Structure formats: structure tokens, C-alpha cells
């Protein structure tokens, strides 16, 4: 067999399942059978062409998909001493840095200075994604999954790892308070990781039925921003002081100002969403006078093993988040469910 089924983006807003060649693993690469692939807001924007200027994707046709899990099929040349064997279940990181620039050498390969050159790849964005039966990846981007983590759960490791990276960046301390804005998959997993990391109290800001899911994922309080001003609500819940940390998981340009408004003096804000180029207005005097730290969070360098360990131990249970699963042929339906907010994370089983 030399071809595989794949969801191919041939023109904007048109994802069609068709047969394309199975990729060959180059030296140092591994051929993988994809088992499950989640679809996120970035995928929606890519399908619509909203990230064209950024070069995501660089050209059409293109295969998207960057939140996935799979199984090792075959090893390329030069991997004789690799610990992975055919049949092993794995997840794959997407940022492949050059390995040589100052950022890569500090372990911050998500900020590789060669971004935009052939030495750098961001799979599912600038290099082929995983919404297909097979994919190839450099061996160093793979992490083995234990037997207890199934393929659908494995597809959530990517977003959970982003939460792990955010908590590390803000130097999250046990016993502290946090507010998470945006109960999408990323916000819910960030809350769950914060809970597992010793948060004393987590407040989720959002709306609708996803707030019920937030309570299942370790949040202590929820604020419906359609019913109450979120900054006033967080202040009310924290004796007027504000929380120690905020995590903006919305990608909405109006939210950073609210998130910063909900912080106590000396608090830290992590911004995890992309607005698609829109600008935000924030109160700069407040940053200075109250020594507020604002941090951007990009991807999840070195964080996959921690997320896998949290899931394996049961400290983070992702099962309430797996609600909508689609076959590859229904990828259009999966995207529509995401767009209409019906699904927190539609997962395509392949
Ligand atoms: Zn994503
Ligand atoms: Zn680099």
C-alpha cells in the first residue's frame, strides 16, 4: 500500500478526504499511524485562510492537524538505538527547532531563531499535519504513551502541555489562587493542571454549559461573564484583593485587560491565546504601580513528559473532555461543531 486517506485543504474553507501518498521517513524520522487528531481554533483559522500572511499553511494543498496521538510503524535510518519500537503508542510535539541557535540551546526551541527557514518546522502549520492515516516526525519529537492512556486521551496531551508550560512560566506556587479566562479545552486543561499543582482556589470565567465542565476539571468557582462583570466577580470572590495568577485562554483581544484587572498587586498574567493580529488595550500604569508581570505563552517546550505523567497518575483526568468523536470522513462536521461551540474539542478518530 502506498497511499493513505487524508483530509486535504485544497482551497480555503474546503477540506476534502482523499488518497495521497504515504510519506517516507527520512533518516532520523519515524513513520507513524495516526489514531486520533483533535481540531482547534487555530485549525479553523488555517482552513479559512486567516493565517495566510503568517505562512500557516505555506501553500496549498496542505494537511492540517497538530493535536494528535498515534503508533510507531517503522523507523527511518540511523535510529537503531531508539527506545521506541513498532507498535508503541506515542504523541508528537510540533515545534522542531534547528537545535543550534541560542534559543534552541537554552531549551526554548519553541522560539527557534530559524523560524521561517527550512531548518525549522512547525508540524501542522508549516509542515504536514496529522489529519491523515500516516505521518512522519523526527524521533526526538516523540513521547511514548503508557498503556493506560488511550488514543483519544493522547490527543489532548498537546493542549495540557501548554498548560504545564504556562504554569512553569509564571512560577506557579502551591496554595495560590488563579483565575482562568476561557473554558475551552486549553482553559479547562490549564485549570486541571493548576489544580494538580496545588492551587488553593481556581475561578473559571466563561459562559454557558462549559462552566459545568470547569467544575468537573478542578475549578472551585465559576463566573458567567454574561451575568456579572468578570473583574468585579473575581474581586468579590477574593475579598476585594484579586487572584495571584490569571490565565487568558481566550484569544479575545478584550480579555487581557480584564484578566489583568482581576489580578492582585504583584500578580502574574499568562496570555495563551492568539487574537489573529488584533490589538489589545491594557492599563500600563497598573503594570508599573502594582508590579504586574505579563507573560506570553507559546507552545509547550519540554512539557509533554510532565503532562503524560499527570495523566498517567490520575492527577489530571481528561475523560470528561472527550465528548465528540468523528470518523475522518466527517471532518467537515467536526469543524462545524467546533465553530458553533457545540464541541469543546472535536476529535477525529482515524
Ligand atoms: Zn491547536
Ligand atoms: Zn533554533
Total tally of structural domains belonging to the chain: 2
Q: Are residues 78 and 140 in the same domain?
A: yes
115 CA from centroid of ligand 2 (Å): 7
Q: Are residues 148 and 22 in the same domain?
A: yes
119 CA from centroid of ligand 2 (Å): 8
Find, among 126, 124, 134, the residue nearest to 22 by Cα: 134
Rounded to an integer, the average pLDDT of 253-282 is 95
pLDDT at 180 over 80: yes
Q: Are residues 202 and 261 in the same domain?
A: yes
Residue 311 lies in a domain: no
Find the ligand nearest to 161 CA: 1
pLDDT per position as a tens digit, 133-152: 999 999 999 999 999 999 99
80 CA from centroid of ligand 2 (Å): 26
Instruction: Name the least confident of 183-187, 193-197, 335-339.
Output: 335-339
Rounded to an integer, the average pLDDT of 261-265 is 98
Find the ligand nearest to 65 CA: 1
Q: Tell me the DSSP string of 270-283.
A: EE----SS------
Find the ligand nearest to 123 CA: 1
Find the ligand nearest to 42 CA: 1
pLDDT per position as a tens digit, 62-73: 999 999 999 999
Q: Under DSSP, is residue 125 helix (H, G, I), strand (E, B) or coil?
A: coil
Rounded to an integer, the average pLDDT of 329-346 is 91
Q: Are residues 137 and 59 in the same domain?
A: yes
Find the ligand nearest to 131 CA: 1
pLDDT per position as a tens digit, 268-296: 999 998 887 889 999 999 999 999 999 99
Average pLDDT, the chain: 95
122 CA from centroid of ligand 2 (Å): 12
Contacts with 221 (C-beta within 8 Å, 6 or more apart), sequence order: 201, 202, 203, 204, 237
* Residue range of the domain that includes 181: 169-296
134 CA from centroid of ligand 1 (Å): 19
Q: Are residues 217 and 152 in the same domain?
A: no
Reported confidence tier of residue 1, pLDDT bands at 50, 70, 90 = confident
Q: What CATH number does residue 266 fall under? A: 3.40.50.720
The two most distant CA atoms of the chain are separated, in Å, by: 65
Q: Is the dihedral of CA 309, 313, 318, 322 positive or negative?
A: positive
Residue 221 lies in a domain: yes
Q: What pLDDT score does 119 carry?
A: 66
Rounded to an integer, the average pLDDT of 197-210 is 96
294 CA from centroid of ligand 1 (Å): 22
Q: What CATH number does residue 129 fall under? A: 3.90.180.10
pLDDT at 115 over 90: no
| Claim: this prediction has a pTM higher than 0.85 | yes
Taking CA 154 as the corner, what is the angle to CA 151 and CA 160, rounded to the nearest 5 degrees?
A: 160
Amino acid at each position: 500500500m502506498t497511499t493513505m486517506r487524508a483530509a486535504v485543504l485544497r482551497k480555503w474553507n474546503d477540506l476534502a478526504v482523499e488518497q495521497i501518498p504515504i510519506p517516507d521517513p527520512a533518516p532520523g524520522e519515524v513513520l507513524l499511524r495516526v489514531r486520533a487528531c483533535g481540531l482547534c481554533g487555530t485549525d479553523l483559522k488555517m482552513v479559512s485562510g486567516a493565517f495566510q500572511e503568517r505562512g500557516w499553511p505555506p501553500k496549498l494543498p496542505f494537511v492540517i492537524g497538530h493535536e494528535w496521538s498515534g503508533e510507531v510503524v517503522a523507523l527511518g535510518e540511523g535510529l537503531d538505538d531508539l527506545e521506541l519500537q513498532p507498535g508503541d503508542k506515542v504523541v508528537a510535539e510540533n515545534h522542531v527547532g534547528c537545535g543550534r541557535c541560542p534559543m534552541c540551546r537554552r531549551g526554548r526551541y519553541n522560539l527557534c531563531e530559524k523560524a521561517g527557514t527550512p531548518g525549522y518546522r512547525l508540524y501542522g502549520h508549516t509542515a504536514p499535519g496529522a489529519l491523515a492515516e500516516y505521518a512522519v516526525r523526527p524521533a526526538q519529537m516523540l513521547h511514548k504513551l503508557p498503556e493506560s492512556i488511550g488514543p483519544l486521551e493522547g490527543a489532548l496531551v498537546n493542549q495540557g502541555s501548554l498548560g504545564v508550560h504556562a504554569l512553569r512560566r509564571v512560577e506557579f506556587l502551591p496554595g495560590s489562587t488563579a483565575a482562568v479566562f476561557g473554558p475551552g479545552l486549553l482553559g479547562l486543561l490549564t485549570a486541571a493542571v493548576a489544580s494538580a499543582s496545588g492551587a488553593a482556589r481556581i475561578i473559571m470565567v466563561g459562559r454557558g454549559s462549559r462552566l459545568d465542565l470547569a467544575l468537573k476539571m478542578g475549578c472551585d468557582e465559576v463566573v458567567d461573564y454574561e451575568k456579572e462583570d468578570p473583574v468585579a466577580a473575581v474581586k468579590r470572590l477574593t475579598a476585594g484583593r484579586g487572584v495571584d495568577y490569571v490565565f487568558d485562554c481566550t484569544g479575545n483581544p478584550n480579555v487581557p485587560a480584564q484578566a489583568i484587572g482581576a489580578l492582585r498587586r504583584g500578580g502574574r498574567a499568562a496570555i495563551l491565546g492568539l487574537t489573529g493580529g488584533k490589538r489589545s488595550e491594557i492599563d500600563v500604569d497598573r503594570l508599573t504601580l502594582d508590579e504586574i508581570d505579563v507573560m506570553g505563552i507559546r507552545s509547550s517546550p519540554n512539557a509533554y513528559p510532565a503532562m503524560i505523567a499527570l495523566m498517567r497518575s490520575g492527577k489530571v483526568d481528561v475523560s470528561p473532555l472527550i465528548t465528540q468523536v468523528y470518523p475522518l470522513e466527517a471532518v467537515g462536521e467536526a469543524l462545524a461543531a467546533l465553530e458553533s461551540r457545540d464541541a469543546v474539542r472535536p476529535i477525529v478518530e482515524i
